[in-house]
Chains A and B, each alone.
Chain A
Amino acid sequence: MDRLDAELVMLARLAGLEATLEKYPEDIQFAVSDARSFMKALASDLGPADEPWPPMRVDGRL
């Protein structure tokens, strides 16, 4: 097993997708590649004051 396969197996295992990897290894590879490109495209110049949306609101409606 080469390094790429080992990494794919590890990632699939962490996601609980071992059985899916056996049936659809290309799809897992595709999904991993997509996820990496998505994360790479995200701006990384956030400052400490940049809070997430939506804000936590305690209004009794939860």
Chain B
Amino acid sequence: MAAHARGRSPVMDLHWLTASEITKAFQGGQLSPVELLRHLLARISRFDPMINSFVTLDQEAAESDARAAEAEIKAGRWRGPLHGIPVAIKDIIDVSGLPTKCQSRLFRDNIAKSDAFVIERLRQAGAVILGKVATFEFAIGGAAGDAFPTVRNPWNPAHHPGGSSAGSGAGLAAGFFPLSIGTDTGGSLRHPAAASGVVGLKPTYGLVSRRGVFPVSFTLDHVGPMTRSVEDAAAVLDCIAAQDPADSSSVSAKAGSYTSDLGLGVRGLRIGFVRNFHETDVVADPEVGHALDAAVGVLKSLGADVTDVTLPPLPSFAAVNRIIQHSEIWSVHKPWLQTRPEEYGVTTRRRLMSGAFLSADAYVAAQRNRRRLIGAVNEVFQQVDILVAANALDTAGTPEEYDTGKPIDVRNRQARVPFNVTGHPAIGLMTGLSRAGLPMSMQMASRHFEEALLLRAAAAFQRATPHHALHPRLEAHAPGD
């Protein structure tokens, strides 16, 4: 790869740089925002026809943002760690003037009139908004393309990159951008992190505003960063975590910077290994289980005090998540499903309509069970500081395998829901590659609003392991290469 470098030392493989590395290169005069953007745009142009991560690429606005950032940085007006850094936005999040299509025919002409809260925050920080990236239809439909092309996994394009923040995961793994913003209602930040081998952080419910994000489920939706490094996830959270009076669930709970403790390590931290999720409740693929054991071994070797803990069974969380999610999303989509059902893909239509046949009794019972499950997890957090659990139980399947009722999809829809139900922060990160060359992953969780501790533990793991430095070779899959 040609180096777009000047000054002291060359900067190679620009597309694999993390945001923190890019910032150092900007500050050292080795790289400029415009040079970086042009490099990434060329890479997107070359490889995205194979990956399909972008729904709307806003090249003109991105170039304008990059030029403005370059001028400010040159003039000594550096705004912070996201200044001049390209970021891609999941296409259920409003960016003023761009369509929010939600991967749906129904919303093909839906132009956002204003920025979502998180976009306002990114703009204030000087980030470069690259455009909108693919999701599942309304962040709940199937993975196989219906109205839009199917997103492909850069590690193996026959496989899916995970979802529903599919374009975010695929684009990060492909080296199209260093940062993305996604959403997570039942694992949609952490599943693509698992399938694509990147980082996905679901913050505590209420820490990041949902304003301007098309709802899946009001009480389960979380907005958060996807990145290739834990350090970058912390920097993005620093930017987007803030109270928003326009979001009824938004709280003021940010204390200090999420990046300041990243170097403190895990020595002395009490880590609870949740074995029952993947060893007895829904048994993980053996390779995934072995990688998880190895990851826990790394944390022990770093000085963490690891013990086994038991949480309520995975299916009990999944039952609660499904009833709440499907009841709430039906309430949103009811008018369109009654009058324009043909504008939905078949998997989406089936999933959304199930909410029509759930009783009020079931919804209230699910919310009552939810409170009990939150209590059960909080009780375990009196004994430990961090939980480690399986993130995905399998490596990425093919897109068709994520349709309703398929075995891998049934398993997949359970693994990450506990922390949506309870609202605890959780981060997904890579634990290695399978024999077939597909990423494997774990998730870590912490007490409500203890993201600083969570990120500290995740950063320690990432520093001690080489997994995040592995990247797919797109050239091997690209036609004509």
Contact = CB atoms under 8 A, between A and B. Distances in A.
Interface string B306-337: 00000000011011101100100000001001
Interface residues of A, number: 30
B260 interface: no
B83 to A, nearest CB: 33
A38 B357 CA distance: 10
B316 A27 contact: no
A31 B315 contact: no
Given A19-B338, A52-B371, A54-B219, A35 B245 contact: no
A31 B350 contact: yes
A43 B350 contact: no
Interface in B225-281: 245, 248
Which of A20, A23, A44 neighbours the largest number of chain B CB atoms within 10 Å of its CB? A20
A50 B374 CA distance: 12
Interface in A8-45: 11, 15-17, 19-20, 23-24, 27-28, 30-32, 34-36, 38-39, 41-44
Contacts of B245: 61
A11 B353 CA distance: 11
B9 interface: no
A28 B334 CA distance: 13
Contacts of A32: 354, 357
Given A27-B350, A30-B404, A38 B369 contact: no
Contacts, number: 107
A42 B366 contact: yes
B357 A15 contact: yes
A62 interface: yes
B356 A38 contact: no
Per CB-CB distance, the 7 closest pairs between chain A and chain B, nearest first, are A52-B367, A35-B357, A31-B353, A15-B356, A41-B319, A34-B354, A53-B371
22 contacts: A16-B338, A17-B353, A23-B341, A24-B341, A24-B349, A27-B349, A28-B353, A31-B353, A34-B404, A35-B354, A35-B355, A38-B322, A38-B323, A39-B323, A41-B315, A42-B319, A42-B369, A43-B369, A50-B368, A51-B371, A52-B371, A53-B367
